[in-house]
Structure 1
C-alpha cells in the first residue's frame, strides 16, 4: 500500500512537471501562436460566419477626385503606341525596379522575347516593364544625387534600345507597389484595351510562355470572360506584427480578413476583367500598399472571385523536372538560373518524354513524389492533372 502511494505521488509529480513545461512553452510561443493560428481562426470566422466583405467596399470607397492622387503621376518613359494596330493576345507587365537591368535583359532574352513568341508560337504578346522613379532629397549627399541621375540616364538609354519601359514619377518602393499596379491597369485601359488578356508578374519569375500561350489561345477560342487565374489565397488575415514586411496597421485596414486574391508573383485576367478593375480603382482608397491584396479588394467590389490554377506558383520555385515543365505556367524566384531553365523547360524533348500512356503514368508517379509533401510549390492535386 505504501509503495502504491509513492508511485502515485511520483506520477503526479511527473504530470505536474510536464504540465508546467507545456504551459511555459505555450507562454513563450503565445505571440507566434496568436499571429499564425488565432488570426487565421478569426479570419475564417469573419469570412464564413460574419461574411462582412460588403463593409470593406463601403469603408474603402472614396470620391473620384480623392482617388486621383493614386494615379495622377506624370510619365517619365512611355510607349502609347506599343499595341497600336496589332492583334495582341496578351499584354504582360513585369514589375521591376530601376536598378534591375540584368533581370530585364534576362527576360528579354528568354520567356519575354517578343520575336520568339511571334515566330515560334504564332501570336503577339507585348512585354513591358512597370517602373517607378528614384527620387532625390534636397539634403541628400551630392554623390548620391548624381548616382540617382545616372540610373535614370541608364534607363533612358535602355529604353531607347528596347522600347519597353513604362515609368511614372512616383517613388519606386515596396510601399508603392499598389501605385504600380494601378499604373498598369490605367495604361492598358488607355493604350492596349484590345489585348485579350492581361498579366502582371514579378521580375524574378519564370513564365513558361509556350504553355501559357496554348492555354490562353484555348480560353480565347472559347470566348471565356470573367477570367482571373493564379495561385489563390483564401481567408488570409492581415499581419499585425510591426516587424513584418507585410505589416498592415488597423487604421489602414480594420477588417479581420482579406478578400480572396491571387499571389502577386504572377496572375492573368481577361480584358473584360481588366476594364472592370480599372473602373473599380477609380473610387477605391489605394493606401493599402500590398498590391495583390488591393487587386482582391477591387475584384470584390465588382463581384469577381479568382480561380486557382495549380500550375501557377506562389512564393516558391517549382521542382526542376521535365514532368513539371510539361504543364508549368509560372515558377517564382529565378534570377541566375533563368537562362538554363528556359533552355531545358522549353526543349521539344519535354513533350516527347511526357506523352503517351507510359509517359503520363511515369510523370504522375514523379509528380506525386515531388508535390505531395508539405510546402511544395504546386499542390498535390497537380500530380493527377
Structure 2
C-alpha cells in the first residue's frame, strides 16, 4: 500500500505528524510505563484478592537471639534520663546524619525548641536526634580533618552542649536506616515508655508544633489507642529496577506488595502502638533497609493499621501560604528556609486572616487552587482544600 503525499492536505499532515510523535514517545517510555503499571496491578491484586500478608510475617519471623544482631549495638551517645519523672506528651525522634549540624541547630531554634514548647504551648515534648556512627577517617568532612579533632569528638562536643543526641556504633548510611528505626523504638521502650505519643521525623521536615500539639492533646483527651497517623502508602509494590535507590531484590522481599505504611518523613504513633512495634521488632528479620516499609511490616504483624492525615506531607513540600499554615502538620524538604517558615507559619496573623466566614471561604478557594492542580504530588491531597 502506497501513500499519495500529493493528496494529503495540511490537516492530515498535522494528524500524521502528531501520531508519529505520540507513537515515538510511547515507544521510548513503554518499558518504564509497562513496569510501573504491571507492578501496581500485581500489587493491588495481591493485596485485595489474595491479601496474604500472613505469609510475609511468617517468612520474616526469626528467633529473638537472631534478631538481636539488628539492635545489639554499643551506645556512643545516650541520655537514659531524658524523660525521667516527667509527663511527656510527645517524644519526638529526629533521624539525622552526623554531618547535618546546621539542620539540627535550625530545629533546636524553631519547631524542636523544648523551652518554647513548654512555655508557649504548656506541654512537655522531648526532642532527640538519632544517628549512627560517622564515616571512617578517610571519609570525614574536610573541616573535621583540618581541625585535627575526630568527627566523633565533634559530635560529643555538640551533645555536651545540647544534651539531645542518641547514637549507636553502626555506620550511619541509607542502607542502615532500618537499624536507626530499631534504635528509636528500643530506646523509647527503655527510657521513655510512658510518653503518650512517639513521633519519628527526618531532619529536613518542618513540623508545625502548635498545630500538632493541639491535635495530640485532643487525641489524648479521647483516650485513643492503636493510633498511627501520617501520609499512608497503600498497596505499594517493591521496586525491582536495580538503578533505583529503593531497589529491593526478590531475595530480600519476595512478595508482590508491601503492607500499608506511612511515609518515613514524619508520622506519629500512640504509646501503646510504640510498645507493640518494639515487641514485633524482637522477632522480625530487619534486613530490609527501607525503614518506613519495615515499620509497616512490624505494624502488620501486630495488627495495627495506619490512618491517613491529610496535613501530613509525604515526600513533597507544602505550598507557602497562610491558608496552608492554618492546618499544617508536617512539610518535607526544608533546610535553608526553616527559620523563615517557622516565623511565618506560627505568626498570630495566620489565625486572624483565616478565621471567620470570609476567611474560611477565602482559604477554601486558595487551597483549591494550590492543592487541586494536576501536578501537585506528594504533598497534601486535593480533599484537604475542603476540610
TM-score class normalised by the smaller sequence: over 0.9
Q: Measured at CA, do residues 20 and 338 of structure 1 come closer, stay the same or move farther in structure 2, by a change above 3 Å?
A: closer
Q: Measured at CA, do residues 141 and 369 of structure 1 come closer, stay the same or move farther in structure 2, by a change above 3 Å?
A: closer
Q: Structure 1 unaligned runs (5+)?
A: none
Equivalence for 2:289: 289
The number of residues matched between the two structures is: 377
Equivalence for 1:319: 319
Q: What's the offset of the Cα at 1:136?
A: 2.6
Cα displacement string for residues 123-178 of structure 1 (whole angstroms, at most 9, x for unaligned residues): 000000000002438xx59998x749622111000000000000000000000000
| d(CA) in 1 for partners of 2:136, 2:14 | 65
The aligned runs of 1:214-253 (5 Å cut-off) are 214-253=214-253
Contact 2:92/2:199, CA 8 A, preserved across alignment: yes
Q: Measured at CA, do residues 142 and 345 of structure 1 come closer, stay the same or move farther in structure 2, by a change above 3 Å?
A: closer
| d(CA) in 2 for partners of 1:45, 1:262 | 21
| d(CA) in 1 for partners of 2:179, 2:336 | 28
Equivalence for 1:275: 275
Is residue 2:118 matched to residue 1:118? yes
Q: Measured at CA, do residues 348 and 18 of structure 1 come closer, stay the same or move farther in structure 2, by a change above 3 Å?
A: closer
The aligned runs of 1:1-150 (5 Å cut-off) are 25-136=25-136, 147=145, 150=150
Q: Structure 2 unaligned runs (5+)?
A: none
Q: Measured at CA, do residues 312 and 143 of structure 1 come closer, stay the same or move farther in structure 2, by a change above 3 Å?
A: closer
Q: What's the offset of the Cα at 1:316?
A: 1.0
| d(CA) in 2 for partners of 1:14, 1:361 | 45
Contact 2:231/2:309, CA 8 A, preserved across alignment: yes
Equivalence for 1:371: 371
RMSD: 2.5
What's the TM-score, normalizing by structure 1?
0.92
| d(CA) in 2 for partners of 1:141, 1:311 | 38
Query: What SS does the corresponding residue of 1:167 show, helix, strand or coil?
Result: strand
Cα displacement string for residues 99-123 of structure 1 (whole angstroms, at most 9, x for unaligned residues): 0010000000000000000000000
Q: Measured at CA, do residues 135 and 15 of structure 1 come closer, stay the same or move farther in structure 2, by a change above 3 Å?
A: closer
| d(CA) in 1 for partners of 2:27, 2:237 | 22
Q: What's the offset of the Cα at 1:315?
A: 0.7
